[in-house]
Amino acid sequence: MFENDYGKEVILDLHECDPTVFTREDIKIFFELLCDKIDMVRCQLRFWDDLDTPACYKETEPHLVGTSAIQFIKTSNITIHTLDIMKRVYLNVFSCKDFDENIVEEFSEQYFKGKSVNTIVVRRV
Protein backbone atom coordinates (compact mmCIF):
# COMPACT_ATOMS: atom_id res chain seq x y z
CA MET A 1 0.00 0.00 0.00
CA PHE A 2 1.01 3.57 -0.58
CA GLU A 3 1.06 6.44 1.90
CA ASN A 4 -2.46 7.89 2.30
CA ASP A 5 -3.80 4.85 0.47
CA TYR A 6 -7.26 3.69 1.54
CA GLY A 7 -7.00 0.32 -0.11
CA LYS A 8 -8.28 -1.01 -3.38
CA GLU A 9 -11.33 -2.29 -5.14
CA VAL A 10 -11.35 -5.19 -7.57
CA ILE A 11 -14.17 -5.07 -10.10
CA LEU A 12 -14.68 -8.39 -11.87
CA ASP A 13 -17.08 -9.32 -14.67
CA LEU A 14 -17.51 -13.05 -15.34
CA HIS A 15 -19.40 -14.45 -18.32
CA GLU A 16 -20.42 -17.97 -19.37
CA CYS A 17 -20.84 -19.01 -15.73
CA ASP A 18 -22.75 -21.98 -14.34
CA PRO A 19 -26.02 -20.53 -12.98
CA THR A 20 -26.66 -23.60 -10.82
CA VAL A 21 -24.23 -22.06 -8.30
CA PHE A 22 -26.15 -18.76 -8.12
CA THR A 23 -28.13 -19.93 -5.08
CA ARG A 24 -28.01 -18.25 -1.69
CA GLU A 25 -26.25 -21.26 -0.20
CA ASP A 26 -23.60 -21.41 -2.92
CA ILE A 27 -23.00 -17.65 -2.75
CA LYS A 28 -22.63 -17.90 1.03
CA ILE A 29 -20.04 -20.66 0.59
CA PHE A 30 -18.29 -18.57 -2.07
CA PHE A 31 -17.98 -15.65 0.35
CA GLU A 32 -16.67 -17.92 3.11
CA LEU A 33 -14.03 -19.48 0.87
CA LEU A 34 -13.01 -16.22 -0.78
CA CYS A 35 -12.62 -14.45 2.56
CA ASP A 36 -10.43 -17.31 3.80
CA LYS A 37 -8.30 -17.14 0.66
CA ILE A 38 -7.72 -13.37 0.88
CA ASP A 39 -7.56 -13.29 4.70
CA MET A 40 -10.64 -11.16 5.38
CA VAL A 41 -12.83 -11.28 8.50
CA ARG A 42 -16.49 -11.81 7.57
CA CYS A 43 -19.27 -9.88 9.31
CA GLN A 44 -22.93 -9.63 8.25
CA LEU A 45 -24.22 -11.13 5.01
CA ARG A 46 -27.32 -9.73 3.28
CA PHE A 47 -29.20 -11.03 0.22
CA TRP A 48 -31.55 -9.37 -2.24
CA ASP A 49 -33.45 -11.60 -4.67
CA ASP A 50 -36.87 -12.97 -5.62
CA LEU A 51 -36.66 -16.03 -3.36
CA ASP A 52 -39.90 -15.41 -1.44
CA THR A 53 -41.60 -13.24 -4.06
CA PRO A 54 -44.91 -14.41 -5.56
CA ALA A 55 -44.48 -15.58 -9.17
CA CYS A 56 -46.49 -12.66 -10.56
CA TYR A 57 -43.97 -10.20 -9.06
CA LYS A 58 -40.75 -12.00 -9.94
CA GLU A 59 -38.31 -10.30 -12.29
CA THR A 60 -38.35 -11.62 -15.86
CA GLU A 61 -35.97 -9.27 -17.69
CA PRO A 62 -32.67 -11.13 -18.36
CA HIS A 63 -30.59 -8.29 -16.92
CA LEU A 64 -32.60 -8.36 -13.65
CA VAL A 65 -33.14 -12.06 -12.87
CA GLY A 66 -30.63 -13.14 -10.26
CA THR A 67 -29.32 -12.72 -6.76
CA SER A 68 -27.49 -9.81 -5.22
CA ALA A 69 -25.65 -10.00 -1.94
CA ILE A 70 -23.29 -8.01 0.19
CA GLN A 71 -20.78 -9.63 2.51
CA PHE A 72 -19.62 -7.06 5.00
CA ILE A 73 -16.03 -7.61 6.06
CA LYS A 74 -14.16 -6.01 8.92
CA THR A 75 -12.34 -3.71 6.49
CA SER A 76 -15.25 -2.92 4.09
CA ASN A 77 -17.37 -5.18 1.83
CA ILE A 78 -17.72 -7.63 -1.03
CA THR A 79 -20.75 -7.36 -3.30
CA ILE A 80 -22.04 -9.77 -5.91
CA HIS A 81 -24.74 -9.63 -8.55
CA THR A 82 -25.59 -12.82 -10.44
CA LEU A 83 -27.68 -12.88 -13.59
CA ASP A 84 -29.24 -16.32 -14.04
CA ILE A 85 -30.44 -16.05 -17.64
CA MET A 86 -27.33 -14.22 -18.86
CA LYS A 87 -25.01 -16.58 -16.92
CA ARG A 88 -23.00 -13.67 -15.52
CA VAL A 89 -21.44 -12.65 -12.23
CA TYR A 90 -20.49 -9.10 -11.29
CA LEU A 91 -18.22 -8.95 -8.25
CA ASN A 92 -16.68 -6.05 -6.31
CA VAL A 93 -14.14 -6.57 -3.52
CA PHE A 94 -13.25 -3.40 -1.61
CA SER A 95 -10.97 -3.29 1.41
CA CYS A 96 -8.55 -0.94 3.09
CA LYS A 97 -6.62 -4.12 4.01
CA ASP A 98 -4.42 -5.28 1.15
CA PHE A 99 -5.29 -8.51 -0.70
CA ASP A 100 -4.21 -10.32 -3.84
CA GLU A 101 -6.48 -9.41 -6.75
CA ASN A 102 -5.17 -12.40 -8.74
CA ILE A 103 -6.56 -14.77 -6.10
CA VAL A 104 -9.95 -13.04 -6.35
CA GLU A 105 -10.03 -13.41 -10.12
CA GLU A 106 -8.73 -16.99 -10.30
CA PHE A 107 -10.90 -18.32 -7.49
CA SER A 108 -14.04 -16.59 -8.81
CA GLU A 109 -13.51 -18.01 -12.30
CA GLN A 110 -13.05 -21.48 -10.83
CA TYR A 111 -15.99 -21.32 -8.42
CA PHE A 112 -18.52 -19.95 -10.90
CA LYS A 113 -17.02 -21.90 -13.82
CA GLY A 114 -16.91 -18.70 -15.84
CA LYS A 115 -14.57 -16.69 -17.95
CA SER A 116 -13.26 -13.33 -16.75
CA VAL A 117 -13.97 -10.72 -19.39
CA ASN A 118 -13.12 -7.63 -17.41
CA THR A 119 -11.04 -7.07 -14.30
CA ILE A 120 -10.28 -3.61 -13.02
CA VAL A 121 -8.24 -2.74 -9.96
CA VAL A 122 -8.86 0.69 -8.51
CA ARG A 123 -6.61 2.26 -5.87
CA ARG A 124 -8.74 4.11 -3.31
CA VAL A 125 -7.13 7.31 -2.00
Tens digits of pLDDT across the chain (125 residues): 556 788 999 999 999 999 999 999 999 999 999 999 999 999 999 999 888 888 888 888 888 899 999 999 999 999 999 999 999 999 999 999 999 999 999 999 999 999 989 999 999 88
Residue 89: strand, helix, or coil: strand
pLDDT, position 61? 87
Angle between helices 101-112 and 24-37 (to 10 degrees): 150
According to the 3-state scheme, what is the secondary structure of 57-101?
HCCCCCCCCCCEEEEEECCEEEEEEEECCCCEEEEEEEECCCCCH
pLDDT, position 1? 53
pLDDT, position 59? 86
Amino acid at 44: Q
| Centroid of chain to Cα 29 | 12
Q: Are 11 and 94 in contact (CB under 8 A)?
A: no
Residues ≥6 apart with Cβ < 8 Å to 45: 28, 31, 69, 70, 71, 72
Domains of the chain: 8-52+62-123 (3.60.90.10)
pLDDT, position 75? 96
pLDDT, position 35? 98
